[in-house]
Amino acid sequence: MHFIQNNLGLVVLVIVSGLLIFWPMVNRRISGIKEVGILEATQLINHHDALVLDVREDQEYSAGRVPHSRHIPLRQLPGRLHELEKFKNKPIIAICRSGSRSGHGCSVLRKNGFEQVYNLSGGMISWQQANMPVEHK
């Protein structure tokens, strides 16, 4: 107790840091966004004709992407949702570099009536680490 009183600023900093680290994960659970790993994602792609939606920036997408993925940068997603209307009742796997931006993309999709939305855990980093195919232009 004496330590806490003498180091209140440090204790508050640790608590706030912890909240910032875990908030995205908690927020995704609350919003109904499911995280999938590489195995689940490939099963959704192969057996349920899931769309892979890449929300990275143009230069990132050009450097390498999941084969047959659709590219809509996150900042453009709200204005381009009409391009995804035919996938409203199909699984959509959102992907970015690490899984953070795609989580936000999933939230945008869910708020606009897309029901089967998944975030690829670890993004392109984990896709490439698992030696999955990558297209280059």
Q: Which residues form the catalytic set?
A: 96
Helix then strand count (H, E) for the chain reads 6, 5
Distance CA 108, CA 127 (A): 23
Between CA 64 and CA 20 the distance in angstroms is 30
Helical spans, DSSP H, in 69-114: 100-111
Q: Let me know the angle formed at the C-alpha of 11 by 8 and 14, rounded to the nearest 5 degrees.
A: 150
- What are the strands of the beta sheet with 34-36, ordered from one edge? 34-36, 117-120, 92-95, 51-54, 70-71
